[in-house]
Each structure stands twice: as structure tokens, then as C-alpha cells.
Amino acid sequence: MGRESDDTLAPSGSLAETATACHAGQWADMICARAAELQFDVVGFARADEPLRQHKADFDAFIEQGMHADMAYLEKHQAARERLDGEAILPGAKTVVCLARRYDRGAEAEADDPPLTQRMARYARGRDYHGHLHKRVATLARFVRGLRPGVVARALCDTAPVLERAWAHRAGLGFIGKNGMLIVPGKGSYCLLGEVVTTLSLQPEAYGKPLNERCGSCTLCLDACPTEAFVRPFVLDPRRCVSYYTIESRSTAPAELHDKLGDDLFGCDVCQQVCPYNQVAPPAVEATAPFEPLPRWREVSPARWLGVDDDEFLELTKSSPLRRATRAGMAQNVLLSAAQRLRQAGPKGDDDARSQLQQGARHDDPSVRKLAEQLLGSV
Ligand code: SF4
Ligand code: SF4
């Protein structure tokens, strides 16, 4: 449980190590066993009362260079990202229980995924994890509160200004790869993170130690990125990233990236897909039901996103991460993908793609119309 810092392939906190030594008084073991029951794949513990100085310095540099682009929420509560105690997150916080849940279903299971979802990042094909994963983290937080009278515990799941990967790294769950992802040796990087921040102190040996980076001379992720979004190893500039433009950005992608954004409709997995650590990790076949594509995606064609009104958009994206992209954003993603198909088709053309661009030029949102006209004029 989060106690090893060696270079073995068994990540600290792997469930194989849990449950057996659980008895009253060994809170770390008890938390690990409960986390296993809640289907977390990895769990570890980080001290909360020591600030994350280096990670915070890197984060500050990221903000100062404007790389957060229009993700203004990253700039807010900047100080909270360094510490988890005091007013920042939880007064008196002593421990961060770091949790990871795998969502990789494996190539065999994915082969039958609807075509629409094959153009979405894997984590987004099923139900929004902010709901189902947060419930599990909250259940674990309740369990931690019950370990001793007066213990306070707060559940986080991408819901507070916390440097999740940095805490998971400190807890010994994995190392940060050159692609910026937390890589859990033996399990890969297709993992969602959650935390229970608590005033409970654990015995010193329960706390993990950060794993050394294990990329070696590999540069596969940097070389495979379609938009050359890595400024250097470990540093991703979201202003060049497909995931940013197809999910987070509220501005239209700049013209110089239009022919690089590819066919993705929501997110991009390329820099994870090529990573050897994901290729050798066995698929997380059990417990991946929430990540199976929503049945409705079998009925939805990409072009549908161009024609939905606000109510239809809300209905279609119910319990789905796609809602984050906004109705206009999804329409723009379809247009960029249609333009790419037109470019690739060359002189023989692609009637469907052209008619999608023409439909976009009649869209009720001005940003979508503007992009459609720009693309019609350039392909
Ligand atoms: S998500 Fe895609 S576009 Fe973004 S850095 Fe990774 S490979 Fe590049
Ligand atoms: S692809 Fe290679 S360089 Fe990139 S994160 Fe994986 S191991 Fe590291």
C-alpha cells in the first residue's frame, strides 16, 4: 500500500497487496481493503501537510506562460494547488488518500464500439465519471470518517483545485511520463484519479514515496502527437492540443491547426495509446461497465451534433462527459473533422463532408457559422 518506492512492476497500493493484513488499528490497511471493495485499482497515501513545491512551481510557470489559455478556472485558487491544508482544501489535513481507477477495456471489447465513440477519448465513451466515481470516493470518505471520532474527510474527484497527478505521484501510485500522464507500472495510464483528503494521520511507514520516472530514451508520445503539442518532454501546451480544442476551449481552434486536428470528435488518446506502458498493461476487463459506450451512441451520427437545439443537446449528453464540450463546441468539432475528410478526399470530393460544412454555415451559433465559412473557403 503506497509504501514502496522501488522499481518493481507492482505499483504501490496494488490491490493484490490489500485486504489480507487488515485489522483494527491499521487504518491504512483498512482503507486499502475498503478501496478494493469500491473497485479502485490502486491506492496510496501522501502526506498532506507538506506543500508540493516543485509541482506548484511548474504549475505557476504554466500559468505565467499563458498555457492555460481560456481555462480561467486553472488560474483561480492557484495557492490551493500547493497545499491541501488550511483554508485551501481542508483545515488540519494530514493525509491524502490517492485513488486510481482504470478504464481501459481492451482492444477486443472496444472493437464493437459504435463508430461515433471510436472518435472519442476512451474515458468519455460511457457515463460521466464525475458522477459514478465521485460516489465511490465519497463512500470511502465516509469510511475514513468512521475510523476515529472527530476525523474529517473530504472526497475529491476533479472537483477542487488540486494537482491530482502530483499527489498521486507523491503517494507512490506511479510516475509522471513524458506525456504528462500518471503512469502506473503494470497498469498503464488509462486511470481516473480521486482523493480523500483527511485529518487522519497514518503511521509514517504508510506514506508512499514518489516513483522515479521510467520513460528512459523513449519519445513515442512526443513523436506521435498530431499537433506537436509538447514544448519539451513533460510539458504540454494545451493551446496546441486536440483534447483542449475539442473539449475545453471556448474559442475556435486557430487556422494553422485545422489540418492537424484529425477526425477526433471529443478528446484524443494518441499520446497514451502509443505508450508502451499501456500496450503491456492487461486490459481492465472487470469493473469497466461505466466506461462502456452509452447505448444511445449507436443511434447518433456525427452530423447530428450540427442539428441539435439546446434541449436535444442536453438530452443527448445526459450523464455524458460530452456535455462539457458545449453544443457549439461539438458542432465545431464535427466541422473540423468534415474539413479534414474533404482535404483527404482531394479532387474527387466528399459530398457528405461538404454538406456538413454547408449545414454548419446555417447554424444558429455565430461561432459555428464563422468556422464553417472559413473552412468552406479553405478546403
Ligand atoms: S492528447 Fe493528442 S493532441 Fe494532445 S498532447 Fe496528446 S497526442 Fe497531442
Ligand atoms: S510513450 Fe514513452 S516517453 Fe511517452 S510516456 Fe510512455 S514511456 Fe514515457
Phi (first) and psi of residue 266, to 5 degrees: -160, 100
Nearest atom (ligand 2) to Cα of 222: 4
- Return the H-helix or E-strand segment holding 362: none
Ligand 2, CB cutoff 6 Å, lining residues: 177-179, 215, 218-221, 274-277
User: Would you state the pLDDT for residue 207?
Assistant: 95
* 46 three-class SS: strand
Q: pLDDT (tens digit, 9 = 90+) per residue, 247-270?
A: 999 889 999 999 998 889 999 999
Closest CA to 229 of 215, 240, 213: 240
* pLDDT of 16 over the 80 cut: no
User: Would you state the pLDDT for residue 285?
Assistant: 64
* 197 three-class SS: strand
* pLDDT of 12 over the 60 cut: no
Q: Who's near 152: CB < 8 A, 6+ residues apart?
A: 90, 91, 92, 145, 198, 199
* pLDDT of 159 over the 80 cut: yes
User: Would you state the pLDDT for residue 11?
Assistant: 35
* 192 three-class SS: strand
- Ligand 1 centre from 105 Cα, in Å? 20
* 348 three-class SS: helix
User: Would you state the pLDDT for residue 69?
Assistant: 73
Task: Provide the residue ranges of all domains of the chain, joining segments of one domain with +.
Answer: 15-206, 227-261+300-378
* 237 three-class SS: coil
Angstrom CA distances, 290 to 40, 122, 141, 376, stand at: 13, 11, 21, 39
Q: pLDDT (tens digit, 9 = 90+) per residue, 279-288?
A: 988 877 667 8
Give the pTM: 0.88
- Ligand 2 centre from 183 Cα, in Å? 9
Contact 355, 302 (CB under 8 A): no
Contact 345, 353 (CB under 8 A): yes
Query: Which grid cell is 205?
Result: 511507514
Q: Report d(CA 110, CA 74) in Å as an integer.
A: 33
Closest CA to 68 of 195, 211, 248, 285: 248
**Burial of 57 from C-beta contacts in 10 A (0-12 / 13-18 / 19+):** exposed
Handedness of CA 271, 193, 20, 8 (dihedral sign): positive
Strand (E) positions, the chain? 42-47, 95-102, 153-156, 175-176, 182-183, 191-198, 230-232, 235-236
Q: pLDDT (tens digit, 9 = 90+) per residue, 90-136?
A: 999 999 999 999 999 988 899 999 999 999 999 999 999 999 999 99
Tell me if 242 CB under 6 Å of ligand 1: yes
Query: Which grid cell is 266?
Result: 471529443
**Burial of 254 from C-beta contacts in 10 A (0-12 / 13-18 / 19+):** exposed
Q: Report d(CA 235, CA 349) in Å as an integer.
A: 38
User: Would you state the pLDDT for residue 13?
Assistant: 42
Q: Which of 241, 265, 266 to mutate to test the pocket of ligand 1 (most atoms within 8 A of CB)?
A: 241
- Ligand 1 centre from 230 Cα, in Å? 8
Q: Report d(CA 134, CA 120) in Å as an integer.
A: 22
- Ligand 2 centre from 280 Cα, in Å? 13
Nearest atom (ligand 2) to Cα of 220: 1
User: Would you state the pLDDT for residue 230?
Assistant: 97
Residues catalogued as catalytic: 158
Q: Mean of the pLDDT values across residues 190-217?
A: 95
Residue minimizing CA distance to atom 8 of ligand 1: 225
Q: Who's near 315: CB < 8 A, 6+ residues apart?
A: none
For the chain, counts of helices (H) and of strands (E): 14, 8
Residue minimizing CA distance to atom 2 of ligand 2: 218
User: Would you state the pLDDT for residue 56?
Assistant: 78
- Return the H-helix or E-strand segment holding 87: none
